[in-house]
With several copies, the nearest count.
Chain A
Amino acid sequence: MTMNAAIRSAMDVMMERDDNIVVFGEDIGYFGGVFRCTEGLQAKYGSTRVFDTPIAEGGIIGAAVGMGAYGLRPVVEIQFADYVYPGLDQLISEAARLRYRSSAEFTAPMTVRMPCGGGIHGGQTHSQSPESLFTHVCGLTTVLPSNPYDAKGLLIASIEDDDPVIFLEPKRIYNGPFDGHHDQPVVPWSSHPLGEVPDGYYRVELGKAAIRRPGADVTVLAYGTMVHVAAAAASETGIDAEIIDLRTLLPLDTDTIEESVNKTGRCVIVHEATRTSGFGAELSATVQELCFYRLEAPIERVTGWDTPYPHAQEWDYFPGPARVGAALRRVMEA
């Protein structure tokens, strides 16, 4: 199953189980969304539970907060993560704070889905990875899957969560585990074990990382597309890296991270977002707080550059296997 199909399946399964779940966003109704993630849902559940919205991300998220306060569980789509900013005030000041400021009289059980990341020649307004902004906002849970199986299980867990969850979808891997080799054809999810997705209900718990590749020499912290890039870098360098797929950025699975880095003594962090104050900063700070005395080399960050995402030079910006591999070598030689 592709990742978009898995995401669609998660919403389908949950809408069948709970008729307080409503799905809305720009072009997600009759049309099924620009990435087809809601295809068929309006036909199945009707336009009272699955509907298009005006082009107003602030309105979409604000309305969802009100619906959540009523007792519904809205699952909304922001067409691209690059367009979430008009809705940030409703997320930061309202959704994330409602439980706290009302001492749980009112809550905002909602899921905000948005495609993120580059690699599709989308330029600076269709490629962004704003995850670190969300992780700085207490009250938000931030999820970013790397494969169809997790995407479905994590989305179900997110929808069932009683607080707002930001669910980021790396659009470059909707159709296959892209590993950064843009010159080669992408293998489809159908030929990948994590592309095997049960039709029914299952959860992947929030806040739990997964070790994608056990290894002894260096810990790689990654999420989304970068998990596959890291895997490619490991096999190409032959370095015995332990690749941790964080899956949930907040709350962060520090136990798994700590255990791994204490074992390997080395750590490379990879993300596509710009470097300064990206989530890699928090990861690096956390690792050195937890594992300082075990570290044998400086923690490295391999990230997008501190520039907007360029269009034509996309692959000079994207942190590919070569850059990750070089970082692995550096920390091993250090």
Chain B
Amino acid sequence: MIEAVPLRFGIPEPPARPGELADFSYLDVPAAGSVARPAVDTRPSDMRDLAYSLIRVLDEQGVAVGPWDPQADVAALHEGLRAMVMTRAYDDRMTTAQRQGKTSFYMRCTGEEAIAVGHALELQARDMFFPTYRQQGWLIARRWPLVDMMCQVLSNEKDRLHGRQMPIMYSARDAGFFSISGNLGTQYIQAVGWAMASAIKGDTCIASGVVGEGTTAEADFHHALTFATTYQAPVILNVVNNQWAISSFQGIAGGSQSTFAARAIGYGIPALRVDGNDYLAVLSATRWAAERARTNYGPTLIEWVTYRAAAHSTSDDPSRYRPADEWKSWPLGDPIERLKNHLIARTEWSEEQHSELVASSDREVLAAAKEAENYGTLLDGRVPSARSIFEDVFKAMPQHLERQRRQMEEGR
């Protein structure tokens, strides 16, 4: 019998706090092209190592290398670049609108654009995406109207959601984009349920759900993996590991002891761990997981390793809890820069074309913003009617809600 030592309480600490030097040595970055690509019908138990590696396609020179190179044609890559640049322009504009008081709140996805954009362009029209609040890139990639996005953010008279929802809580069924919930993680098991339904009906479309690495701690993450494995649901379960959950670094969610991709292993679900700032890796990993799902090989979990370059939201100030310049040291760089360099390396793009793309995106966003603001903003008070807050609680308005609406109108 061992003699008793006092127990110690451990709590993971981030590598650097404000004032300290950024340090990402905890992340090891294998060379692009170094990870094997198994056939999609490989048994999960034969590819567990994928959960501990990092799938990368673009090397330091921006050249696509290795078995995960999606061999994407140039038009597709231009389309992806357009959407990423537009997404960043959109984020800039909406951030400004919030500062001007035209809306109450906004959330950027800076540095993570490749994931939602690549995913959107790789999946099919009838597939359903269950996003978080940081997947606006999907809507832009699917060319959902910028003006509609903005009207929602501005809660104005043209807001499809009638001002009831907080800014950025889009819902866009026509773009295969499920209504965003303010409650973390709930959409993950819903994505699995949607995929089960598709399989129950013998349909051909799949679902894809997203959570951040912090949200993997919620119950619905576990429920999603359990149901996905038991029913072999045709679903892609994405974990966007952007290293931070508001002020909590990924170690607080358990990232110091393992990868988030590895969570899937214990459920018998295959997992890919992917450089989320490598647009070609995003296309390729999405394609692999989608093909598995579509051909009845079941679910796949993908951990996208990226970095939340901006504040959590307009209510947040990251300089309170992490080095202000941490992003500069992020080993996986900027997804837009990397795709740009790849296209330039292929002589399919130039700095001039890129500056023009950035400028034209800004112009397009600005024009859309002008139009959207014509329909009102939270600031000028041209918001949807109070009457509408009683609608859509139920399909048919029950007596007690009609009574309450009357009372509201009588000022009771």
Interface residues of A (CB under 8 A from B): 22, 26-27, 29-31, 34, 47-49, 51-56, 58-59, 62-67, 69-72, 82-83, 85-86, 89-90, 93-94, 97-107, 121-126, 138-139, 141, 162-163, 207, 251-252, 254, 275-276, 305-308, 310-313, 316-317, 322-323, 326-327, 330
Q: Is the CB of B218 within 8 A of A56?
A: yes
Residues on the B chain within 8 Å of A86, using CB: 218-219
Query: In this complex, what residue of A is CB-closest to B401?
Result: A306
Minimum distance in angstroms from B404 CB to a CB of chain A: 5
Q: Is the CB of A72 within 8 A of B200?
A: yes
Q: Is the CB of A311 within 8 A of B104?
A: yes
B386 within 8 Å of A (CB atoms)? yes
Residues on the A chain within 8 Å of B11, using CB: 29, 47-48, 51-52
Residues on the B chain within 8 Å of A83, using CB: 183-184
Tell me the bound Cα distance from A122 to B183 in angstroms. Answer: 13
Q: Is the CB of A102 within 8 A of B227?
A: no
Residues on the B chain within 8 Å of A141, using CB: 394
Minimum distance in angstroms from B133 CB to a CB of chain A: 11
Minimum distance in angstroms from B39 CB to a CB of chain A: 28
Contact flag A64-B408 (CB < 8 Å), given A83-B183, A101-B165, A313-B164 = no
B5 within 8 Å of A (CB atoms)? no
Tell me the bound Cα distance from A122 to B260 in angstroms. Answer: 30
Q: Is the CB of A103 within 8 A of B161?
A: yes
B85 within 8 Å of A (CB atoms)? no
Q: Is the CB of B245 within 8 A of A163?
A: no
Give 27 A-B contacts (CB < 8 Å), ordered by A residue.
Answer: A30-B321, A31-B246, A54-B217, A55-B218, A56-B217, A58-B220, A59-B220, A62-B224, A69-B190, A70-B198, A83-B183, A94-B181, A99-B394, A104-B392, A104-B395, A105-B173, A105-B179, A106-B171, A107-B395, A123-B182, A125-B182, A138-B393, A251-B398, A254-B399, A306-B401, A316-B408, A323-B411
Looking at the complex, which one of A52, A90, A121, A163 makes contact with B248 (CB distance below 8 Å)? A52
Contact flag A54-B412 (CB < 8 Å), given A48-B200, A66-B207 = no
Tell me the bound Cα distance from A51 to B123 in angstroms. Answer: 29
Residues on the B chain within 8 Å of A306, using CB: 393, 400-401, 404
Minimum distance in angstroms from A209 CB to a CB of chain B: 13
B310 within 8 Å of A (CB atoms)? no
Q: Is the CB of B155 within 8 A of A63?
A: no
B252 within 8 Å of A (CB atoms)? yes
Q: Is the CB of B412 within 8 A of A307?
A: no
B335 within 8 Å of A (CB atoms)? no
Q: Is the CB of A82 within 8 A of B389?
A: no
Q: Is the CB of A66 within 8 A of B219?
A: no
Minimum distance in angstroms from B403 CB to a CB of chain A: 9
Q: Is the CB of B196 within 8 A of A307?
A: no
Minimum distance in angstroms from A44 CB to a CB of chain B: 16
B160 within 8 Å of A (CB atoms)? yes
Residues on the B chain within 8 Å of A312, using CB: 155, 159, 163-164, 378, 383-384
Contact flag A67-B181 (CB < 8 Å), given A101-B171, A307-B390 = no
B214 within 8 Å of A (CB atoms)? yes
Residues on the B chain within 8 Å of A97, using CB: 181
Tell me the bound Cα distance from A322 to B412 in angstroms. Answer: 8
**Interface size bracket, B side:** 35 or more
A-B contacts besides A56-B223, A101-B164, A101-B169, 9 pairs, CB < 8 Å: A26-B245, A34-B315, A62-B223, A63-B192, A100-B393, A103-B162, A124-B166, A251-B400, A326-B412
Q: Is the CB of A311 within 8 A of B163?
A: yes
Q: Is the CB of A31 within 8 A of B320?
A: yes
Minimum distance in angstroms from A20 CB to a CB of chain B: 8
| Proximity string of chain B (284-301) to chain A, C-beta cutoff 8 Å, 1 when within and 0 when not | 000000000000000000
Minimum distance in angstroms from B13 CB to a CB of chain A: 8
Tell me the bound Cα distance from A80 to B91 in angstroms. Answer: 26
Query: In this complex, what residue of B is CB-closest to A56?
Result: B217
Query: In this complex, what residue of B is CB-closest to A255?
Result: B399
B189 within 8 Å of A (CB atoms)? yes
Residues on the B chain within 8 Å of A52, using CB: 11, 247-248, 252
Question: Closest 8 interchain pairs by CB?
Answer: A66-B193, A125-B182, A312-B163, A59-B223, A63-B193, A123-B166, A54-B217, A62-B189
Minimum distance in angstroms from A84 CB to a CB of chain B: 11
Contact flag A66-B395 (CB < 8 Å), given A106-B171, A307-B390, A323-B412 = no
Q: Is the CB of B247 within 8 A of A27?
A: yes
Q: Is the CB of A305 within 8 A of B404?
A: yes
| Proximity string of chain B (118-136) to chain A, C-beta cutoff 8 Å, 1 when within and 0 when not | 0000000000101000000
B191 within 8 Å of A (CB atoms)? yes
Q: Is the CB of B393 within 8 A of A65?
A: no
Q: Is the CB of B384 within 8 A of A59?
A: no
Residues on the B chain within 8 Å of A125, using CB: 166, 181-183
Q: Is the CB of A106 within 8 A of B104?
A: no
Residues on the A chain within 8 Å of B34, using CB: none
Looking at the complex, which one of A49, A63, A106 makes contact with B227 (CB distance below 8 Å)? A63
| Proximity string of chain B (12-24) to chain A, C-beta cutoff 8 Å, 1 when within and 0 when not | 0100010000000
**B178, B179, B395 — which one has the most chain A CB atoms within 10 A of its CB?**
B179
Looking at the complex, which one of B13, B166, B253 makes contact with A54 (CB distance below 8 Å)? B253
Looking at the complex, which one of B190, B219, B252, B253 makes contact with A65 (CB distance below 8 Å)? B190
B349 within 8 Å of A (CB atoms)? no
Tell me the bound Cα distance from A64 to B193 in angstroms. Answer: 6
Q: Is the CB of B404 within 8 A of A322?
A: no
Residues on the A chain within 8 Å of B179, using CB: 98, 101-102, 105-106
Tell me the bound Cα distance from A305 to B386 in angstroms. Answer: 12
Looking at the complex, which one of A62, A71, A163, A310 makes contact with B395 (CB distance below 8 Å)? A163
Looking at the complex, which one of A67, A93, A275, A310 makes contact with B197 (CB distance below 8 Å)? A67
B226 within 8 Å of A (CB atoms)? yes
Tell me the bound Cα distance from A105 to B378 in angstroms. Answer: 23
Query: In this complex, what residue of A is CB-closest to B254?
Result: A54
Query: In this complex, what residue of A is CB-closest to B223?
Result: A59
Residues on the B chain within 8 Å of A251, using CB: 398-400
| Proximity string of chain B (373-402) to chain A, C-beta cutoff 8 Å, 1 when within and 0 when not | 000001000011110111011110011110
Q: Is the CB of A307 within 8 A of B389?
A: yes
B194 within 8 Å of A (CB atoms)? yes
Tell me the bound Cα distance from A82 to B183 in angstroms. Answer: 8
B25 within 8 Å of A (CB atoms)? no
